[in-house]
Structure 1
Amino acid sequence: MAKPRILIQLEGYFNVGVARYLQDNLDCDIYALVDINKQIKKFFLQQQFVNFKKVWYLRDHLMKLNTEPNLEYLASFEKKYKINLWLIAHMDRILLPYNYFRCYHRYSREEILQIAERLCKLYEDMFDEVNPDFIILRTTDNFQGELLLQLSHARKVTVLMPSHSRLGRRCMISSNVDIIDNFDELFKSSNDASLKTFEELHNLLQEYKKQVYDLLVNHGVNTAYQKLKAGLYYLFKVCNNEYRQYYANFGRTRTKILIQETKLVIKKIIREYFVNKNLKRDFDKNSKFVYYPLHLNPERSTLHAAPFYVNQLEVITNIAKSLPVEYKLYVKEHPSQLFAEWRSISYYKYLMNLPNVELLHPAVSNDELLKYCSLVITTAGTAGLEAAYYNKPSIVLADTIYSSVLPSVYRLRSYEDLPNAIRTSLEKKVEISDLTRYTKCVFDNTFEYDIVGIDTFQVRRIPNSFYIPDVEMPYDEIINMINDMKDVWTKVGEAFVQKICGKSK
């Protein structure tokens, strides 16, 4: 049997350890696609930790957009692979200004198509040369990642992507984000585990929620001094002419950054005052209500998982139109929206002016809302799964790990179906046996891996990296950091080997 050819995407250092494990424990050829800036490129040019057969540096292909896009080639690419390039572009929080609150450059149609063309050609050339059997990807959250994922599927390359299972610290490796491959069949064949109470089951979600919180607020870059130090490093060590040649950094001059960040600080103060003064901090537990927790914006779970439901004002308006007359809609602001300078005041006022909608402060207990609501509606969030653990039905607007197997979850396909979906869901009951089987099935097909913990570890070891993910470090310090993560990347590497060996049989 020929040695498997594995292409691995690298945007940091942890997967370098994973690649080393594969090299040491599997007879294979390993190739790498590295997405880092020039400072970090020095490490990959120098390193001998992993013997990559070949390395491609993605950013080398995305500098200086100064040519006309080849529309004939792009149209041919779309037709050949059945990939919608504009849909992928609209998922990117940098390229489209409505997706991101820090906008330094408004990308033209020609610039976006140039980026698409260069990525398409790079990926096609790479796949033609390597013809990989497997590709190891990180969770997609940008244009280049989503395009690589979709092209991998179109070229019949087996995708191996680690992601959260939304239960405890369990991680899965699958062909896409937020799924377990063949989960429907696995769920049907799963034996019922011993029954637990709803309270015991929903406690399993708490570790995952804690992980997400830690990722946002517990990276060790908390003090004003640390933030100032990181900002000065960025302005004077990173933000130069060469840095701005990469498309994601267009327009990021020191002057613009200082002006923009100052404006954002002022906006945050004004918006936070409005939030604290006007959003309700309590709710009527005796009223009939449907609960919609706002998604963080920008966020992958809307931009990528549900690209046609990104506009949450539109989503909420349509829910409000579809409610039975005796119900209200309670909308709660996401607690972590404060890290994105909150939403505009006009956004909040629009929601407050909807007559059957009440807008709740982020301090209102999510657990209490889940406990007293009749139904949860979410675009693609964990709230839909949490609802089941609180014995409540839910409606989701995208495919999720739980939506295809839990009978209490309604997958909405069209706004026109929403009134009927709400009335149907309000009559549903959650069966504890379904939840127990679901929980057992997830645990049987995942492994223990603290994804957030390893991110936090790296952030604390790399100076200023919470704000600058591509900070240069001495070579020996990088190797020491990778070795210090060995126990974790060994566990992840073992999971990849099991997947690869299982597919290769």
Structure 2
Amino acid sequence: ASLEGRPFVYYPLHTEPETALQSLSPEYFYQHSCIAALSRDLPAGVMLAVKETYEAVGRRPTDFYGQLADFKNVVILDSMELGLEVVNRANAVATITGTGGFEAAVMGKPVVTFGCHNQYNFLDHVHVIEDEGELARALRTALADDAVNDTTRRDGARFLAATLASSFDLSGLGHLNVESLEGSAVELSFDALCASVRAGSETHQGGQA
């Protein structure tokens, strides 16, 4: 099935096993079950676009993608397609703990997440699923015509600004080249860690006062 001219929810697959999945969402990390639930509860005419991350190619059971393709409203995307571009086109993003959820959240796009501990879960346009009985309603809300508006865009932009303000530049470090970390970045990381510990200690002491 084609996505051309059709509304769709984007689900970027997580690499497995992965700390960002099993450790950050110990309550729920069953991706096949998650996709099946989304497929079941999506409104008629809305597609679910699933994309594999290139790091996971060849790591899943041979029948995994075939089982997903059996769902009539699921489309498997090219794993080399840029996820951010898919987020831009999607009506909403569904995830457990994936980066795609963060990207949609800062854009002001609706997110349906099965992970209870994401940093962006407090945003009003992020719908946290703690019970699958809540899923159908969350999807309807996320896909409403006014789901993306000035308020969601403003809230997303403010969250991104806060994230950047509490971050620091690691001078070109990439997961494909861990040797690229510069000495100055180590010092910067250490200073940021110390500042964070001090801030946490002051907050804790203030709460006890």
TM range (shorter): 0.7 to 0.9
Please name the residue that 2:200 is paired with: 499
Residues 415 and 483 of structure 1, relative CA distance in 2, 3 Å threshold = closer
Q: Match of 1:420, SS?
A: helix
| Paired AA for residue 158 in structure 2 | R
- Counterpart position of 1:285: 4
Shift of 1:350: 0.7
Measure the CA separation in 2 of the matches of 1:369 and 1:425: 17
Could you tell me how far 1:331 is from its partner in structure 2?
A: 0.6
Residue aligned with 1:359, SS:
strand
Q: SS at the partner of 1:376?
A: strand
Pick aligned residue for 2:73 from 356, 359, 366: 356
Q: Which residue number in structure 2 is paired with residue 433 of structure 1?
A: 154
SS of residue paired to 1:386: helix
Aligned equivalent of 1:384, options 87, 90, 101: 101
- Note if 1:448 corresponds to 2:165: no
| Residues in 1 aligned to 2:9 and 2:203: alpha-carbon distance in whole angstroms | 44
In the alignment, what sits opposite 2:134? 417
Aligned with residue 299 of structure 1, among 18, 21, 42: 18
CA distance in 2 between partners of 1:425 and 1:482 (Å): 45
Conserved in 1, the CA contact under 8 Å of 2:42 and 2:139?
yes
* Equivalent of residue 120 in structure 2, options 384, 402, 425: 402
- Residues 285 and 372 of structure 1 are in contact (CA less than 8 Å); yes or no, is this contact kept in structure 2? no
Structure 1 residue identity aligned to 2:154: S
For the residues of structure 2 that align with 1:483 and 1:377, how far apart are their CA atoms?
38
Query: Is residue 319 of structure 1 aligned with residue 20 of structure 2?
Result: no
Name the CA shift for 1:455/1:361 in 2 (closer, same or farther; >3 Å).
closer
Structure 2 unmatched ranges of 5 or more: none
Quick one: distance in 2 between partners of 1:325 and 1:448?
44
CA distance in 1: counterparts of 2:108 and 2:167, whole angstroms: 26
1:314 partner amino acid: S
Decide which of 61, 86, 89 is 1:372's aligned counterpart: 89
Q: Distance in 2 between matches of 1:443 and 1:417?
A: 32
Within a 5 Å distance, the mapping from 1:50-449 to structure 2 comes to: 284-338=3-57, 341-399=58-116, 400-404=118-122, 406-427=123-144, 428-430=147-149, 431=151, 432-444=153-165, 446-448=166-168
Take 2:87 and 2:114, find their aligned partners in 1: how far apart are those partners?
18
Q: TM-score, normalised by structure 1?
A: 0.36
- Alignment partners' CA distance in 1, 2:160 and 2:12: 23
CA RMSD, Structure 1 to Structure 2 (Å): 3.1
Identity %: 23
Equivalent residue, structure 2, for 1:465: none
Looking at structure 1, the residues matched to 185 and 82 of structure 2 have their Cα atoms a distance apart, in angstroms, of: 38
Structure 1 residues 302 and 407, CA gap change in structure 2 (3 angstroms): same
Residue of 171, 187, 190 corresponding to 1:489: 190
Label 1:456 to 1:497 Cα distance change in 2 as closer, same or farther (>3 A): farther
* 1:373 partner amino acid: A
Contact map agreement 1:337 1:343 (CA 8 A) in 2: yes
How many residue pairs were aligned? Answer: 200
1:445-471 CA distance string (max 9 Å, x none):
x241539939888x549xxxxxxxxxx
Q: Shift of residue 316 of structure 1?
A: 0.5
Q: Match for 1:309: what amino acid?
A: Y
Contact residue 113 and residue 127 of structure 2 kept, 8 A: yes
Query: Is the CA contact 2:108–2:155 (under 8 Å) kept in the aligned structure 1?
Result: no
Does structure 2 retain, via aligned residues, the 8 Å contact 1:377–1:395? yes
Say whether the 8 Å CA contact 2:11–2:48 is kept in structure 1: yes
Cα distance between partner residues in 2 of 1:424 and 1:456: 39
Q: Distance in 2 between matches of 1:372 and 1:362?
A: 16
Give the alignment's TM-score, normalised by structure 2.
0.80
Shift of 1:313: 0.8
How many angstroms does 1:380 deviate by?
1.6
Structure number with the higher helix fraction is 1
CA deviation map 1:58-115 (0-9, x unaligned): xxxxxxxxxxxxxxxxxxxxxxxxxxxxxxxxxxxxxxxxxxxxxxxxxxxxxxxxxx
Q: Secondary structure at the match of 2:63?
A: helix
Gap regions ≥5 residues in structure 1: 1-279, 462-480
